[in-house]
Amino acid sequence: MLPAALVTLGRDHPALELSVSELDPVAVPGALRDHRLDVGLLHDYDVVPAATDPALESVALLDETVSLATAPDAPIAALADTRDTDWVLASPGTLCHEVALRVCRSAGFTPRARHHIDDFDAVLALVAAGQGVALVPQLAAATPETGVRLIAVPTRRRTRIGYRRGAAAHPAVAAVVAALRTSAGAFTLSGRNCALS
């Protein structure tokens, strides 16, 4: 989604200085408040809702399913079947780590971490290699690794486009929001299980 938005912005707004920084979702609000970012993608999950920040505004972008990723031959039909299974978790302190803990606790167990990986492509490759199971949002599993089976779990991830309060009308912010919404619309229209908000 992001590369398509960047191409559009570079073509339609060549004077914009575009720079992408990857941060854990818990760090994005602070980066927006501190002017390290002008626009950021904010994520939250049903099980870990975002706190309201009076310094920021946002607009909805995506609402996605979350899946349990397993090896195709794993004897797993549901989340509860992973109680004694190794897990590929995100790094402690990250939003994705907290989500996995809460989802598993709601199913009555604490996941047994074998690996801590923050890149979804690497997570899916480890799952395909039989190194454990993991939770992945739909956007991360848009083109799942060969050898990965996805099982829906009862939580959703929401993505919002965030910026500082009062900045929505700034031409650069408005351009980025429009490009991201167009790119997300193309993603959802291609048949993936996401809803454009």
Q: Measuring CA to CA, how many Å separate 185 from each of 10, 28, 63?
A: 19, 23, 12
Give the domains, in start order, of the chain with CATH numbers: 1-197 (3.40.190.290)
pLDDT at position 191 is 45
What's the rounded Cα separation, in Å, for the pair 183 and 1? 5
Give kind and range of the element (H or E) at residue 74.
Answer: none
Q: What confidence tens digit (pLDDT) does each residue in 18-30 have?
A: 999 999 888 999 9
Whole-number Cα distances in Å, 95 to 28, 92, 141, 182: 11, 9, 18, 26
State the pLDDT at residue 197.
47
Q: Which pLDDT does position 186 carry in this prediction?
A: 76
Can you name the residues that pair with 64 across neighbouring β-strands?
157, 194
Spatial contact of 101 and 109, defined as CB atoms under 8 Å apart:
no
pLDDT, block means (10 residues), the chain with 197 residues: 92 94 92 96 93 94 95 93 96 95 96 95 94 93 78 94 97 96 76 49
At residue 50, the pLDDT reads 87
Q: How far is CA 30 from the centre of its chain?
A: 18
Residue-level pLDDT at 142:
74
H or E element at residue 163: strand 149-164
CB distance 110 to 101 below 8 Å: yes
pLDDT at 30: 96
Residue 194's pLDDT is: 52
In three state form, how does the secondary structure of 99-156 look? HHHHHHHHCCCCCEEEEECCCHHHHHHHHHCCCCEEEEEHHHHCCCCCCCEEEEEEEE
